[in-house]
Chains A and B, each alone.
Chain A
Amino acid sequence: MDFLRPATWADALAAKAARPGALPLQGGTDVMVELNFDVRRPAALLDLSGIAELRDWEEDGPVLRIGAGVPYARIIDELGARLPGLAQAARTVGSPQIRNRGTLGGNLGAASPAGDGHPPLLAGGAAVEVESAARGVRTIPVGDFFTGVKRNALESDELIRAVRVPPAPGPQYFAKIGTRNAMVIAVCSFALALDPVRRAVGTGVGSAGPTPLRAAAAEEFLAARLDWAGRGPLDAGVAREFGELVRAAAAPIDDVRGTAAYRRHALSVLARRTLGWAWDEHRADTAREAS
């Protein structure tokens, strides 16, 4: 196995173009486990952890642009106020050591349906900035990024450069079911984002289908039924129906971590609960709208 360690982004793109089979490596928290257990033996590893620019985030007009190599620990510490849903999800990733190493870019590259970063990116309307040496940069809406179980929309010569995500315009929540109280892969997970300005709702569902997915019908239903301006109490029937629509959007399977029936049930509960928290926050948060 060859080990490629480009020093610059341009070198990385050139290397990927020359060796399309090279497996990109960021924190190694996923890739190295698979290598150690002989799950895969790529011809080459393309270590991106030496490329400084991938480890930065910045404000880029209306969005936050998070480099593919920013570890979860920094997302929690530095972006928690502006991307609360993503930070909550990051907080559930592995252990402190894993959060120091693991990155959003690696999560997207692996494209696991259970990836903790995916649901908040779906709910928050993120896009993935990818690049190749031959064709330059393109931006893929995260909803189009996941194409199958552990498959994504990257071409063989492309690398993930950054994630572009708008700062939360309103309340965001992430909730994840595991059969242990820490360090656990999602049995299922749910992210909710409310946009009181556009009166829009975003959702993301994890570990309940071949890819992370949005519950589009639930989003539309809820956006139409919430009392955005009046900020009245949440109608229990609306919350329940939202939960049912999220349940209907899921396409889970039975596996060693849980049953499909439990996942559907749990998603309906998580959808209802996160909506309750988000709406309470919206009702309390008159300052945000006034500003």
Chain B
Amino acid sequence: MTSPAKAAPGRGGVGDSPVRPDGTLKVTGEFAYASDLWTDGMLWGATLRSPHPRARVRALDTAPALARPGVHAVLTHEDVPGRPVFGLDHPDQPVLASDEVRYQGEPVALVAADHPETARRALADIAVEWEVLEPVTDARAVAADPDAHRVQERGGIVRRQPIRVGDVPAAKQAAEVVVSGEFEVGIQDQAFLGPESGLAVPADDGGVDLYVSTQWIHKDVAQIAPCLGLPEDKIRMTMAGVGGAFGGREDLSMQIHAAMLALRTGRPVKMSYNRQESFFGHVHRHPAWMRYEYGASGDGRLLYADVEIVLDGGAYTSSTENVTGNAASLGVGPYEIPNIAIDAVGVYTNNPPCGAMRGFGAVQACFAYESMMDRLAAACGLTPVEVRRRNAVSQGSRMATGQVIDSPAPLAAMLERVDAMPPPPAADASDLRNLPGGVAQTTHGEGVVRGVGYGVGIKNICFSEGFDDYSTARVRLEVIGGEPAALVHTAAAEVGQGLVTLKAQIARTELGVDRVTIAPADNAVGDAGSSSASRQSYMTGGAVKAACEAVRAELLARAARRTGRDDLSVSGGVVVSRAAGAVASVAEILGDDAIEETREYHHRRTTALDPVTGQGDSHTQLALCVHRAVVDVDVELGLVKVVELAAVQDVGKIMNRLSLEGQIHGGTAQGLGLAVMEEIVVSGGVVRNPSFTDYLIPTILDMPPMRLDILEYPDPNAPYGLRGAGEPPTLSSTPAIVAAIRDATGKALTRVPVRPEHIVG
């Protein structure tokens, strides 16, 4: 296949690894994050939050705060100009609590002051009279009796999604081997390093200009506008520098609050959470309780799965419906099972609010189904790799939803490849950093046992269940300084994943030009959808490709008119005839004119899941990752050193190897965190560790070197054949590491994160 355009070799087109524009700035500390925003005359906003997970607001007196010198505004729910609630999928979360707070940290009042310290003191001046109520904290109790545990008007259940395939009772009679287990996943936090921050500037037209770190500009604006009582075109939003997202910026945080303060005071207002507040300022990964029973033939071929999953969404809907849908549709992973009964339920409680986080419902289920595959292997006397290989899906297999996998799914081959990788050498115990505990010197080798484990994960790419998922790109080609230059404009959020780099690569390849500028992301161009669901290379990549193709078509049409030839392509800024070679430069064709095209890219439509049977072609694309983890465990102290993580991932097409490897490393590290340390610990709805002192994320001494084997089986439905890559490694690294710890210790380890007490207990 020949393309009518290509980037000159090595000039940063698709498949190259050009250096990302923000990389050096971030490493040297010069990158401007949203928390660095500054403008003359700005005020500082601050948020009063509930100390209680559930309480009634009996009285609230803002007068003492307003009286403090330097305070310009104190706002409560009575000051919300428009709709009092917002939400991603259902507007049920109060902008500011009115009668009742439903989670610890729920915003109650806002202050704008001329100094952040003044704002903070003014918060303390606000007198709130609380009537503390008993919080609802047992998600399983809500699932069992939702009416008895109603947290809000919508009730106790966010969504119940069953999956029914075949005849599970009959299969239970036929099974020769039965394994079962209960599993739990604790609350993981995105732990992005750049806290929620932004600047709201009141505009002359009565609207507001917002500069924020977000994941989805248009969805933000669509939620903000009704709460402010403004039309959407009065809200202009521009991406500010994002310090990580991982799903935690998909819900609103300070956006409406800062806009309210700016509109009230007529001054620019900056809000920036500190680390502790950030733990209360965004949703987390849903904690899960899961009961699994599998039956199989004696040779380890699965006959049935009987599964119950309870996800705790906290007090407001956020993304819980879709997280629950994912947990159901991906509840048994990439394995062929003829008889399936899954009941996945997401509930409301007064625990911390949960929503989108990398892996989105698939992570929780993956820990359980992979743990089950190891139990099945043990029961059948098979190796973990062999039992997975025997049940692995492939192209043409049916998922639990009945959806047929219609593009490559080379799981068996991936398992064989990871199994064939050489094992890492024994640890060099002469350097403490190679041992569990590191330089804290808990062992010189005593008690250390090596273990090996495997994990497989499957993740839906792009939005599912009938959502019309699309992205928009505007591309302009013109001559600047005698050279053809492209300008690419989208609203897609660069959250660190490297999309800005990739968009330029696509433009270079499709337009055959070297110079590409990426315009700041804002809502002056159409919706790009969210930077989540591993979808932006696919969706915004697809939109940029389509817009570039339209620009190129116009360019070549002009060139054809000028040259009388119809065998033209463009490369390296030159229009080339297949027969006659170079015929004109792009600059000559364009002259002083510019070509600008805007295109939307929609992925093929999906369908909803049947509410009774859970059947439906709900996913656009599915992506696989396989991990092998090698760990050294100090079995006497319960401390773990992950020695090596090997991964095999199919990405369809390597668009930028450097960025891709970064995504696989990062996703794997986040899965490692969930496996052995990351948890928001909650007691009675109250968070006990809202700090990086006690919410631990992996350091360089925790994350081992990785061995990567990246495969390219093209998906014919996707741009360039690519497959979304950011989330799959987050799924499979967790169960692989826990399996390796089980291998070393012989412990059942049914809960993540695994704590030392679980290993020595």
Which residues of A line the B interface, CB within 8 A?
A: 33, 36-38, 88, 91-92, 173-185, 187, 189, 256-259, 261-262, 265-266, 269-270, 273, 276-277
Contact = CB atoms under 8 A, between A and B. Distances in A.
Interface stretch (B423-431, B588-596, B691-699): B691-699
B681 A256 contact: yes
A33 B433 CA distance: 27
B491 to A, nearest CB: 35
Interface string B720-761: 000000000000000000000000000000000001110011
Given A37-B276, A181-B437, A176 B694 contact: no
A136 B638 CA distance: 49
9 contacts: A88-B439, A88-B441, A176-B440, A177-B440, A181-B440, A256-B688, A266-B756, A269-B637, A270-B442
Nearest to A37: B276
A273 B443 CA distance: 7
Contacts of A173: 441
Interface in B45-95: none
B164 to A, nearest CB: 41
B677 A179 contact: yes
A187 B698 CA distance: 17
Q: Could you say which interface size class chain B belongs to?
A: 35 or more
A177 B639 contact: yes
A262 B439 contact: no
B390 interface: no
A180 B638 CA distance: 11
B84 to A, nearest CB: 29
Nearest to A189: B440
A53 B440 CA distance: 30
A interface: dominant SS? mixed
Q: Which of A37, A181, A184, A273 has the most CB of B within 10 A?
A: A181
A30 to B, nearest CB: 11
A-B pairs, 5 with minimum CB distance: A181-B438, A176-B440, A182-B701, A181-B701, A256-B688
Interface of B: 120, 274-276, 433, 436-444, 446-447, 636-639, 641, 676-677, 681, 688-689, 691, 693-694, 696, 698-702, 755-757, 760-761
Q: Which of B276, B691, B702 has the most CB of A within 10 A?
A: B702
Contact of B439 (A182, A187, A189, A270): A182
Contacts, number: 96
B444 A181 contact: no
B441 A174 contact: yes
A142 B681 CA distance: 35
Contacts of B433: 181
B443 A180 contact: no
A183 B444 contact: no
B694 A257 contact: yes
A177 B756 contact: yes
Nearest to A88: B441
A175 to B, nearest CB: 5
Q: Which of A91, A180, A262 has the most CB of B within 10 A?
A: A180
Contacts of A189: 440
B639 A273 contact: no
Contacts of A257: 694
A115 to B, nearest CB: 14
A92 B681 contact: no
B757 A92 contact: no
A180 B702 contact: yes
B757 A182 contact: no
A258 B677 CA distance: 12
A173 B440 CA distance: 11
Contacts of B693: 33, 185
Contact of B437 (A178, A185, A259): A178
B274 A177 contact: no
B701 A177 contact: no
B439 A179 contact: no
Contacts of B443: 273
Contact of B702 (A175, A177, A182, A259): A182
A92 B688 contact: no
Given A184-B696, A256-B688, A256-B694, A273 B276 contact: no
Contacts of B702: 180-182
Contacts of A182: 438-440, 699-702
A179 B641 CA distance: 10
B696 A180 contact: yes
A153 B677 CA distance: 36
